[in-house]
């Protein structure tokens, strides 16, 4: 292929990474009204033609036109039908600049792509013979030279041309024409009537089957819902399709938002960097979040599928109809859409359980991010590579900020805010400030200080909320003292107070919430209140209390803060048993467990004696024998905190081996002391019939499998038999996986045989093989790493598939701190080798895998030195992707 030569084409050198800053934002000089695309699909040489109808945003402007681009060749470049003179354009390492164009014109651009060689999985690539695209955040420029920024919204018409090996041809919008061509090939033309940014463009082509059903919106429009998968997966779509229907109904009912095209398509592909992508009318999904049947998917897989299907669907309004002005505003769509999918899942199942799971994720992962070198505000101020900002902070802390608004306003008023947001900004590219302004403008009565609230978006770090109190039981008074602060984070030394809603209740001796009246108030108080904390220090005095009270604080986790409160172990046990707020019952149980673990870690020998005191044992025993409680809630309450989370709570340098040892010790002690209660509970929760995916059945499986995690450490033979029985004979993956994961923890020839049998049965089902890889990657057995190195060579493993990489390498580095942090540095070197291999072809995946290494400052000196050495070697590597470069630099800064 020949490349058109621009006279002044600069050499395309590998430029120094550029820092992009939020405050440098300028509106686009040029707008694109219409885009016509034509693709001649071929694995090694796909020809792409684009016709762009452009105009200057400001007719009197003089700025040249900037088109972003990857390293694809430029085959043809014409303006209004005439080839552009070579002095009229210039190419550099990341695009084209065009000079002297008329203020309105039509540009024709032609290029050629090699989808088969694309292993970065950005732009146009092949996954198991299926052509697909991933354009968010900046992938469209790898397909065509284009103003690839989210504030340039255009209408797209896309034509796909292929031979009979690609019978299904899909793109965004509605199908407007299709049929055979004279040369034996066929075509399909799609038109998307909604202006959209380029990151929402998608095409898919391949041999796919479609599972579909009609849907009628509340206002009576009909929509065809379609899920496209490889033929072998045709039977695995029912759950995804049903989830989609439920999500659509829910959004209509809760927010009055309906779907807007004739069809809604979801395609499942095996090679995908992230979870899924909300391309307008044509979502592309990691097959992990589509395919399910009881024999291959666990309860958690079923829940994840429902949640991700809903998430991408909800983006149609929060993301597509209203999009981001620039990538610093990413949380505008992601935080809001995560919040929406959380609310949906809460309504589909148990709100309490959903909340606990979210908070657990936040506390274990987002808080860790906030405390480390990659801490950044929900609305970041700068980046080198935007793909590095698809983070827990932007997604999940972002969702908490939306939730804060709902907590402060109450949900009806919050819905009013959402309605104003949609009304005001439909069809626009806006900012998180615009979102907050709309929600607050709809609710002036609430008196929320916008400035104070907005600090949540601009300040990084997890606020620390220290509460203390004095009780005068005789006078019926309880005085609460609140102090908030926020630790420094990279680039932000000093923080200002934020608006913290503190939901609380005061429980009397029987556990009933008292009426809450503040001094000076006249009306009888509600049993629960939301206090607004607005300053560094504040006091509140509650009066008219019946006597001694136990505070239930930060109910439902009413703000994403670290809470320090002087509750005694007796009070925690009381809350665990009696708090009417299910979230706080869980939090109290976790606090008791954490205290026992931290005490063990403080003791010189890791606590030579008992870590589980009688208070903890009784609380556990009470829970296990409680016939009235929700089994799923009990399972969450009795789950030991992860080693990573325990490590994060330690004041000083972390020795991961000791954390592991103490946690295992407590697990063993609980197993031994509570063996009988665990066995009884296990048997009670066992279902007689076949697997069903329903709330109660799922709750029973959770509690049963929680019992099993302890029973696996019980010396009783009966416990061991149960474990083997379940691993061998369960009829569903939830129970099989729970048992297999436990068996795989320790070395045993019989277990090896079982793993081998499992492999033989499932080796052609990659999603099941991911589970098998993960059990082995998480194992404590001494030969764990040696086995992983062998698995890298297994035909079922592939370094180019992100799911396999995450299952094997990701699990080892994130969920197996014991071996990853081996004192001899072998775990770190293993990661280093894999990073060097992967960064060469998939920088996005490499930049995620490196995260556990970035936490080096938290560890004891021996490990710190080893981790740092790996980071320094990585920093010196040539070539190094921009993605990995940014991560490593932040860790070394
Ligand atoms: N917008 C997608 C979502 O639903 C995520 C896409 C992320 N892609 C990326 N390359 N970082 O959350
Ligand atoms: Zn999203």
Helix then strand count (H, E) for the chain reads 31, 32
Q: How far is CA 2 from the centre of its chain?
A: 43
Tell me which of 120, 136, 336 to substitute to probe ligand 1's pocket, judged by most ligand atoms within 8 Å of the beta carbon.
136
Residues 399, 414 share a domain: yes
Domain for residue 768, yes or no?
Answer: no
How high is the pLDDT of residue 6? 59
> Which residue carries 């509605």 as its tokens?
174
Residue 368 Cα, ligand 1 centroid: separation in angstroms? 21
Residue 151 Cα, ligand 1 centroid: separation in angstroms? 17
How high is the pLDDT of residue 688? 81
Residues 283, 152 share a domain: yes
- Cβ(847) to ligand 1 under 6 A? no
Answer whether 33's CB lies under 8 Å from 154's CB.
yes
Domain for residue 892, yes or no?
Answer: no
Q: Give the range of the structural domain holding residue 495, as residue numbers without chain letter.
A: 466-562
Measured at the CA of 319, the angle between CA 315 and CA 322, to 5 degrees, comes to 125
Domain's final residue, options 562, 583, 609: 562
Q: What DSSP letter does each residue of 438-503 carry, written as one string?
A: HHHHT-GGG---HHHHHHHHH--SPPEEEEEEEEETTTTEEEEEEEEE---BTTB-------EEEE
User: What pTM does this model have?
Assistant: 0.98
Residues 577, 554 share a domain: no
Residues 311, 331 share a domain: no
Residues 630, 548 share a domain: no
Which ligand 1 atom lies nearest to the CA of residue 139? 10
Residue ranges of the chain with pLDDT lower than 50?
7-14
Domain for residue 832, yes or no?
Answer: no
pLDDT digits (tens, 9 = 90+) for 689-735: 899 999 999 999 999 999 999 999 999 999 999 999 999 999 999 99
pLDDT digits (tens, 9 = 90+) for 822-842: 999 999 999 999 999 999 999
- Cβ(259) to ligand 1 under 6 A? no
| Domain count within the chain | 4
Domain for residue 822, yes or no?
Answer: no
Give CA–CA dist 642/654, Å, rounded: 14
Q: Identify the CATH number of the domain in which residue 272 sits.
A: 2.60.40.1730
Residues 187, 95 share a domain: yes
Give CA–CA dist 761/607, Å, rounded: 44
Q: What DSSP letter does each residue of 96-112 carry, written as one string?
A: EEE-S--SEEEEEEEEE
Residues 72, 193 share a domain: yes
Q: Identify the CATH number of the domain in which residue 520 sits.
A: 2.60.40.1840
Domain for residue 663, yes or no?
Answer: yes
Domain's final residue, options 504, 530, 562: 562
Residue 277 Cα, ligand 1 centroid: separation in angstroms? 6
Domain for residue 789, yes or no?
Answer: no
- Cβ(138) to ligand 1 under 6 A? no
Give CA–CA dist 122/530, Å, rounded: 45
- Cβ(709) to ligand 1 under 6 A? no
Measured at the CA of 727, the angle between CA 693 and CA 802, to 5 degrees, comes to 70
- Cβ(278) to ligand 1 under 6 A? yes
ipTM: 0.98
How high is the pLDDT of residue 17? 87
- Cβ(277) to ligand 1 under 6 A? yes
Instruction: Give the residue whose CA is nearest to atom 8 of ligand 1.
Output: 136
How high is the pLDDT of residue 524? 80
Is 783 in a helix, a strand, or coil?
A: coil
Tell me which of 123, 198, 273, 277 to substitute to probe ligand 1's pocket, judged by most ligand atoms within 8 Å of the beta carbon.
277
Domain's final residue, options 529, 562, 595: 562
Give CA–CA dist 724/746, Å, rounded: 14
Residues 386, 304 share a domain: no
User: Does the CA dihedral 420-423-424-427 come out positive or negative?
Assistant: positive
Of 433, 434, 496, 435, the residue nearest 461 (C-alpha): 496
Domain for residue 7, yes or no?
Answer: no
Q: Identify the CATH number of the domain in which residue 716 sits.
A: 1.25.50.10
Residues 500, 452 share a domain: no
User: Does the CA dihedral 154-157-161-164 come out positive or negative?
Assistant: positive
Tell me which of 274, 311, 319, 331 to substitute to probe ligand 1's pocket, judged by most ligand atoms within 8 Å of the beta carbon.
274
Answer whether 543's CB lies under 8 Å from 477's CB.
yes
SS3 for 866-883 is HHHHHHHHHHHCCCCCHH
Residue 724 Cα, ligand 1 centroid: separation in angstroms? 40
The radius of gyration computed from the CA coordinates of the chain, to the nearest angstrom, equals: 28
What are residue 450's phi and psi, to 5 degrees?
A: -60, -45
Q: Identify the CATH number of the domain in which residue 329 sits.
A: 1.10.390.10
Residues 69, 181 share a domain: yes
Give CA–CA dist 441/265, Å, rounded: 36
Domain for residue 821, yes or no?
Answer: no
Options 312, 334, 358, 886, the catalytic residue = 312
- Cβ(390) to ligand 1 under 6 A? yes
Active site residue 312: yes
Residues 153, 36 share a domain: yes
Residues 164, 80 share a domain: yes
The number of beta carbons lying within 10 Å of the beta carbon of residue 253 is 11
């Amino acid at each position: 292929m020949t490349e058109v030569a621009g006279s002044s084409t600069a050499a395309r050198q590998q430029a120094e990474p550029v820092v992009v800053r939020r405050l440098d934002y300028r509106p686009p000089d040029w707008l694109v009204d219409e885009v016509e695309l034509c693709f001649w699909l071929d694995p090694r040489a796909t020809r792409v033609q684009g016709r762009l109808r452009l105009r200057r945003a400001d007719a009197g402007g003089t700025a040249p036109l900037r088109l972003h681009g990857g390293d694809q060749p430029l085959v043809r470049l014409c303006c209004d039908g005439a080839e552009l003179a070579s002095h009229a354009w210039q190419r550099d390492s990341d695009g084209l600049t065009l000079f002297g164009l008329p203020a309105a014109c039509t540009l024709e651009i032609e290029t050629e792509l090699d989808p088969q060689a694309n292993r970065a999985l950005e732009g146009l690539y092949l996954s198991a013979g299926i052509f697909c695209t991933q354009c968010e955040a900046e992938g469209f420029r790898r397909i065509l030279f284009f103003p690839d920024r989210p504030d340039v919204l255009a209408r797209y018409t896309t034509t796909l041309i292929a031979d009979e090996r690609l019978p299904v041809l899909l793109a965004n919008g509605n199908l407007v024409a299709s049929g055979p061509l004279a040369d034996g090939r066929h075509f399909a033309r799609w038109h998307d009537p909604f202006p959209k940014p380029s990151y929402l463009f998608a095409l898919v082509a391949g041999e796919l089957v479609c599972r579909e059903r009609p849907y009628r919106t509340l206002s009576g429009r009909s929509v065809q819902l379609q899920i496209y998968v490889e033929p072998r997966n045709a039977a695995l779509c029912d759950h995804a399709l049903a989830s989609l229907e439920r999500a659509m109904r829910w959004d209509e009912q809760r927010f009055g938002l309906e779907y807007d095209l004739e069809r809604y398509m979801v395609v499942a592909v095996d090679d995908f960097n992230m979870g899924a992508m909300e391309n307008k009318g044509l979502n592309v999904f990691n097959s992990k979040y589509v395919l399910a049947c009881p024999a291959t998917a666990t309860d958690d897989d079923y829940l994840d599928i429902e949640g991700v299907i809903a998430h991408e669907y909800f983006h149609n309004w929060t993301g597509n109809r209203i999009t981001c002005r620039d990538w610093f505003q990413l949380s505008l769509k992601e935080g809001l859409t995560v919040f929406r999918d959380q609310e949906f899942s809460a309504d589909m199942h148990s709100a309490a359980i959903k909340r606990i799971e979210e908070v657990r994720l936040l506390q274990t992962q987002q808080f860790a991010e906030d405390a480390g070198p990659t801490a950044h505000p929900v609305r970041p101020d700068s980046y080198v590579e935007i793909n590095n900002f698809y983070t827990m902070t932007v997604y999940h802390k972002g969702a908490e900020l939306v939730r804060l608004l709902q907590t402060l306003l109450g949900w009806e008023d919050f819905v009013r805010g959402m309605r104003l947001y949609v009304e005001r900004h439909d069809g626009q590219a806006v900012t998180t400030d615009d979102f907050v302004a709309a929600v607050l403008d709809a609710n002036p009565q609430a008196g929320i200080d916008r400035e104070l609230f907005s600090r949540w978006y601009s300040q990084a770090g997890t606020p620390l909320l220290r509460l203390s109190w004095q009780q005068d039981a005789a006078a019926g008074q309880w005085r609460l003292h609140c102090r908030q602060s926020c630790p420094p984070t990279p680039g932000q030394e000093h923080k200002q107070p934020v608006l913290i809603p503190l939901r609380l209740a005061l429980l009397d001796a029987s556990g009933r919430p008292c009426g809450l009246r503040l001094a000076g108030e006249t009306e009888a108080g509600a049993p629960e209140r939301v206090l607004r904390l607005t300053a560094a220090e504040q006091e509140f005095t509650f009066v008219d209390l019946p006597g001694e009270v136990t505070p239930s604080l930060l109910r439902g986790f009413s703000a994403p803060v670290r809470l320090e409160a002087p509750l005694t172990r007796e009070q925690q046990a009381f809350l665990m048993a009696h708090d009417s707020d299910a979230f706080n019952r869980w939090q109290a149980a976790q606090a008791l467990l954490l205290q026992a673990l931290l005490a063990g870690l403080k003791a010189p020998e890791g606590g030579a004696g008992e870590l589980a005191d009688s208070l903890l044992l009784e609380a556990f025993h009470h829970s296990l024998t409680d016939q009235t409680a929700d089994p799923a809630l009990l399972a969450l309450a009795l789950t030991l905190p992860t080693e990573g989370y325990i490590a994060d709570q330690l004041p000083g340098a972390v020795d991961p081996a000791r954390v592991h040892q103490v946690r295992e010790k407590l697990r063993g002690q609980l197993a031994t002391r509570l063996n009988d209660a665990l066995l009884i509970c296990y048997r009670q929760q066992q279902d007689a019939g076949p697997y069903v995916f329903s709330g109660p059945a799922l709750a029973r499986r959770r509690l049963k499998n929680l019992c099993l995690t302890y029973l696996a450490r019980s010396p009783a033979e009966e416990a061991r038999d149960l474990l083997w029985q379940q691993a061998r004979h369960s009829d569903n993956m939830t129970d099989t996986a729970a048992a297999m994961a436990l068996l795989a923890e320790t070395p045993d020839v019989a277990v090896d045989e079982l793993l081998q049998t499992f492999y033989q049965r499932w080796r052609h089902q990659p999603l099941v093989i991911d589970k098998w890889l993960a059990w082995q990657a998480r194992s404590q057995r001494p030969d764990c790493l040696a086995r992983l190195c062998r698995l890298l060579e297994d035909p079922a493993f592939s370094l180019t598939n992100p799911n396999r990489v995450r299952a094997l390498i990701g699990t080892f580095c994130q969920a197996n701190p014991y071996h990853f942090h081996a004192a001899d540095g072998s775990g770190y070197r293993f990661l280093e080798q894999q990073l060097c291999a992967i960064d060469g072809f998939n920088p996005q995946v490499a930049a995620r895998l490196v995260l556990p290494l970035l936490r080096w400052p938290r560890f004891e000196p021996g490990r710190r030195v080893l981790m740092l050495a790996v980071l320094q070697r990585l920093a010196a590597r040539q070539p190094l992707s921009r993605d990995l470069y940014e991560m490593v630099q932040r860790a070394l800064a």
